[in-house]
Amino acid sequence: MTSSESNQQSPLASQREQANSQSRAYFPLGYKEAFGQWWAGVSPAETEHKVLSFVPRLQRPDLDIKDSKCRNREGVKSDTDSIASAASTDDPFGARKWFINLVKLSGKDRALNEFSVERVGEQVDNDLVMLHGYGAGLGFFYKNFEALSRLVGWKVYALDLLGMGRSSRPSFKIHAKDHEGKIREAENWFIDALEEWRIKRNIEKFTLLGHSMGGYMAVAYALKYPGRLKKLILVSPVGIPEDPYAVKAELPNPDTSTMQAEALQDQESIANGEEAPAPRRRIPKWVEYLWDANVSPFSVVRLVGPLGPSLVSGWTTRRFSHLPPKEAQALHDYSYSLFRQRGSGEYALAYILAPGAFARSPLIHRIQGVGRQVLAPHAAPTVDDVASQASAARESGIPVVMMYGDHDWMDVDGGRNAERKILEEKSKALEGKSADEWKKDQGDAKVVIVKNAGHHLYLDGYDEFNEIMIDELKDVEKRERASRS
């Protein structure tokens, strides 16, 4: 590399080289570069646009990134503000067009940021909706959009959860007084927005994918709004097991956490198939106090001002170390631009998870209800009482797929236990039923492992992940054909 080429290297890329030689440097981005990024204050719209520019075959949209409100060039205000759109060119998989929209919801300051890919000139027979994890954004799925939109008849959506990403950030307040009520209110805050979005998009039924916290919310959605899903795909979902000892006997004391592996694991070694045991550290008492006081990690990023980009680099450098430098830099910029936004949905974390990433209302006690709920409005994502509602019309099961990386810090045994409970519930529901009823039932569950991947397996092992996903989407089509025959 020439000296001029070296001078053109991005700040994060140059710091990553230093981090490789000093593997214990927790915050690789230098103070000077961090201050520069903080001072520049690049908008989430611009950083999201940069990440999406790496989606192959789908042209970059003509986005007016200088417009802080990120409306379209015509300044149109409607229930759905079209922010940007573009079409693919010379596409061997058929012409495709993608959009970025801001879908307005009812109430004050409620809107969901939406990315979608549609196949030009084709009828939409199926919809895939993708939900990101805690504090992240839809741009993290940039390695998946092109591959998953190749199937004829499918339209792909990715949403920023309410109060996260580039969705609106209304004030997050809990009004319930009791423990259970606070949890349900926090869950409803997110999933009610998803249901309102579905109604606005006039989607009858769809396939729902959720990663991490998005997976948790996907299960909650399936329980509260039965009859709306064709398939549920949980990608390293948080919140399934009840406690550490339920899934791993060798885990250390209760005041330790595998969640710290999210920040400390070097993803390059994982992607290369090298052993990378999840490091564990004791959770300091002050961290537990801040957690319970609802001080989010992003509050710290905002609080430290010019040091924020450096703090974020401690995560992004390790998290994206296996990616090409330009993509890693774009994801760092994108992450920081989201983390520094006004706090909103992030404050749900303390109501839903206890310190250490274990749910306050574990899904293992509820996931058996997915696909078995009464087909009626529900007040909260809780499991129906079968005995008291024996005569009510119910769902006839939906397939549930749980995906993990082989180096995932989210324990796969939680998924296997959930698989067992779902299949046991199917056997109970169909006990004494006819062979025809068994045949028509759609209930199923399985666990899939993606090789050389960690918690963000859709990014670490995206080729294998995309292949598995395409097979799952084809399975949706196969089941629909069988149901019509």
- What would the two tokens of residue 145 be? 């959009």
Residue type, 347: Y
Give, in order, the Cα–Cα distances in Å from 301 to each of 217, 296, 309, 411.
25, 9, 8, 28
Among residues 212, 296, 344, 361, which one is catalytic?
212
267 contacts 453 by C-beta, under 8 angstroms: no
Where do the DSSP E strands lie in 8-147? 80-87, 96-104, 111-119, 126-131
Among residues 49, 132, 407, 455, which one is catalytic?
455
- What would the two tokens of residue 314 be? 């401690």
Whether 212 sits among the annotated catalytic residues: the reply is yes
Q: Euclidean distance between the first and final Cα of the chain, in Å? A: 62
Whether 408 sits among the annotated catalytic residues: the reply is yes
Phi/psi for 159 (5° steps) reads: -120, 145
Whether 388 sits among the annotated catalytic residues: the reply is no
Residue of 287, 237, 218, 230 whose CA lies nearest to 257? 287
CA distance 294 to 351: 8
The four Cα atoms 482, 195, 125, 474 give a dihedral, to 10 degrees, of: -50
54 contacts 330 by C-beta, under 8 angstroms: yes
Among residues 333, 408, 444, 460, which one is catalytic?
408
Q: Count CA atoms closer than 13 A to 71's CA, side-chain side.
A: 11
Q: Count CA atoms closer than 13 A to 195's CA, side-chain side.
A: 21
- Catalytically active residues are 212, 408, 455
